[in-house]
Amino acid sequence: MKKQDLFFIASCILIVAIFFCIIPLRDWFMEWSKAKDGRYFVLAFLKFGILATTGESIGLRISKGVYNEKGFGLFPRFIVWGVLGVGISIAMSIFASGTISFLHYCGLSLSATDITSQCFGIQLLYAFCVSFFMNTFFAPVLMTVHKITDTHILENKGTLKVFFSPIAFGRIIQNLNWNVQWNFVFKKTIPFFWYPAHTITFLLPSEYRVLFAALLGVVLGLILSIANLKHK
């Protein structure tokens, strides 16, 4: 373990400690996490922007031995992940509500307000169904969009030019390594990691779900680094 690793770990511990020890900051975080207005999405942007970008930095450390390098584009990645995070938080709400309707058609009379009062078996069934539907129908699109934006950032050498130049969707999609994207990212990580991981997510109280999903972004960074190594 090098000095940069110790510094990185110490920084992460310090940030977490600050949120736990400074009561007003913790109260602000919980208030915005429970908010039913624009504050919820602002916080979702920050959660995913910070945590998922951190995950990608860890992935870069694994693949190249550094947490950042010229052309990597930490700030553009933060912005992109923030925007994707807002989309993920919206998708989580949609699939969480839609699954209740689906289970209702299957004969289970549930509502969003009484899920937590059900027995653990019903809660587990609900959480798994939400995870299954979201990761089956939404995750592949999200992962592909992320791969496209990631390629666009690298092609523009991680500069702010990425926000002012058009994304060559057709060319990038055509040149994606679909063997890795399908056989590893989709076929292996979705059923063996994301289904159970997001089942845990939807077993949590609603105010903690987006945070936990954002923490999983750190794992996503590791997965993407492995996918890049497989591509090479």
- What string of DSSP letters covers 61-97? HHHHS-S--TTS-HHHHHHHHHHHHHHHHHHHHHHHH
Per the structure, the count of domains in the chain is 2
Check residue 165 and give its pLDDT: 92
Contact 131, 198 (CB under 8 A): yes
Same domain, residue pair 8 and 89? no
The tens place of each residue's pLDDT in the chain, 232 residues long, gives: 677 778 888 887 887 787 778 878 777 777 877 777 788 888 889 888 988 888 888 888 887 888 888 889 999 999 999 999 999 999 999 999 899 888 888 887 776 666 777 788 888 999 999 999 999 999 999 999 998 999 999 999 999 899 999 999 999 999 988 988 898 889 988 999 999 999 999 998 887 888 888 888 777 767 766 666 655 5
Check residue 135 and give its pLDDT: 96
Same domain, residue pair 2 and 87? no
Same domain, residue pair 47 and 28? no
- Token pair, residue 188, equals 């292996």
Check residue 9 and give its pLDDT: 80
Same domain, residue pair 56 and 160? yes
Same domain, residue pair 61 and 99? yes
Check residue 23 and give its pLDDT: 78
Check residue 108 and give its pLDDT: 78
* Structural domain containing residue 159: 38-231
Check residue 227 and give its pLDDT: 66
Residue 231: enclosing H or E segment and its boundaries?
helix 206-231
Check residue 229 and give its pLDDT: 61
Q: What is the C-alpha to C-alpha distance for residues 17 and 32, in angstroms, rounded to an integer?
A: 19
Contact 197, 216 (CB under 8 A): yes
Check residue 215 and give its pLDDT: 84
Same domain, residue pair 6 and 69? no
Same domain, residue pair 200 and 94? yes
Same domain, residue pair 191 and 126? yes
Contact 35, 28 (CB under 8 A): no
Same domain, residue pair 95 and 184? yes
Residue 189: enclosing H or E segment and its boundaries?
none
Same domain, residue pair 21 and 91? no
Same domain, residue pair 27 and 63? no
Check residue 221 and give its pLDDT: 66
Check residue 225 and give its pLDDT: 64
Q: What is the C-alpha to C-alpha distance for residues 92 and 77, in angstroms, rounded to an integer?
A: 22
* pTM for this predicted structure: 0.88
Same domain, residue pair 59 and 7? no
Contact 134, 198 (CB under 8 A): yes
